[in-house]
């Protein structure tokens, strides 16, 4: 069974199987025109057609994904803190744009 590891540089979860020496064996790192690292799969021909603009956009996409992942972790911490101080699920649900039931289900599983 593969264990889950966080790739800090790109914020993507990688499944790393037992006996794997390098989790980046299948990842190629390229630079966008402004020097931002972009992770691409080593296999596949689609990356060969990428120009500088496409790499720039992919760098932006990967940056947004990293921020979303950090923000999700922050939100999880804030919800836990709010619950610690007695904030009801009704207000938490409202605050995140959902119902109390959906919020409770999301943060208690």
Q: Quote the distance between the C-alpha of residue 25 and its chain's center.
A: 20
Going from N- to C-terminal start, the domains of the chain cover: 23-108
SS3 47: helix
- pLDDT value of residue 90: 96
- pLDDT value of residue 45: 59
| Helix ranges restricted to H, 6-99 | 52-84, 89-95
- pLDDT value of residue 32: 78
- pLDDT value of residue 12: 46
Contact 15, 26 (CB under 8 A): no
Run means of pLDDT, 10 residues per run, the chain, 109 residues? 41 45 66 78 66 81 91 96 97 96 93
Pick the closest to residue 72 from 1, 24, 6 (CA basis). 6
SS3 3: strand
């Amino acid at each position: 069974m593969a264990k889950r590891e966080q790739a800090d540089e790109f914020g993507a979860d990688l499944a790393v199987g037992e006996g794997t020496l390098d989790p980046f064996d299948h990842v190629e790192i390229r630079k966008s025109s402004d020097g931002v690292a972009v992770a691409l799969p080593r296999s596949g021909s689609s990356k060969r057609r990428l120009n500088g603009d496409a790499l720039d956009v992919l760098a932006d996409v990967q940056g947004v994904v990293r921020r979303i992942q950090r923000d999700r972790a922050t939100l999880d911490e804030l919800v836990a803190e709010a619950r610690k101080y007695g904030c009801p699920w009704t207000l938490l649900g409202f605050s995140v744009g959902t119902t109390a039931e959906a919020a409770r289900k999301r943060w208690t599983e």
